[in-house]
Amino acid sequence: MLPDGDGFSLIREFRQHSDVPVLILSACDADDDRLLGLGLGADDYLTKPFLPRELILRINNILKRVYGSNQPALERDSLLLGDILIDFSSGLIHSGKTEKSLTAKEFAILKKLSENRGNIVTADSICQAAWEDGYYGYENTLMVHIRRLREKIEKDPSHPQYLLTVRGMGYKLAKDS
């Protein structure tokens, strides 16, 4: 029903040259048409009326299959502080050309702060996140880890601009400026 020919011959010809995925969106849901379309190598066949969301999902599924790499986005799992980038999936801190790595505790603490960036996080709740078991009596240890973190992410660890202390409450990660 296209103005200059029918869709089926279009696909047939197209398929001879290309493997690019094809999804047919048709007004006819006659069984024969559907079978023909799929038989010619279309990846999917949807008939009107259809749910917009279903169309999106079907497209996504086809693309995932064709171009692979259905890896959960790693980009999102990172933290940008000024010109240094912390990548949690690799556990690395990139600043310019140099790379430092995070230890397990540093990782857990920074992750927790990162998840609540801009907000105060009490020492208690940081400990809770970093020490599964009885998270008390680690306040002092936490301080030492904070210091180490600052040495890794701050220009001047003694005058931090990102990992800030909130006296009497805990710490917080400065919101991006």
Phi, psi at 114, each rounded to 5°: -65, -35
**138, 162, 172, 173: which one contacts DNA (CB under 7 A)?**
138
Angle of helix 104-115 relative to helix 123-130, nearest 10 degrees, comes to 130
- Smallest CA-to-CA distance from 87 within 107, 72, 58, 68 is with 107
**25, 30, 35, 144: which one contacts a second copy (CB under 8 A)?**
35
Q: Does 27 bind a second copy (CB under 8 A)?
A: no
* Residues forming beta bridges with residue 92, ordered by sequence position: 87, 101
**106, 113, 152, 173: which one contacts DNA (CB under 7 A)?**
106
Q: Is 35 or 144 the residue whose CB approaches a second copy more closely?
A: 35
Q: Is 71 or 98 the residue whose CB approaches DNA more closely?
A: 98
Q: In what order do the strands lie in the sheet with 84-87?
A: 78-81, 84-87, 92-95, 98-101
Q: In what order do the strands lie in the sheet with 121-122?
A: 121-122, 170-173, 163-166
Q: Does 146 bind DNA (CB under 7 A)?
A: yes
Interface region with a second copy, contact rule CB under 8 A, candidates 3-11, 132-140, 144-152, 168-176: 168-176
Which residues 40-79 are close enough to bind a second copy by CB under 8 A? 41-44, 51, 53-54, 57-58, 61-62, 64-66, 68, 70, 74, 76
Least separation in angstroms between CB 173 and DNA:
13
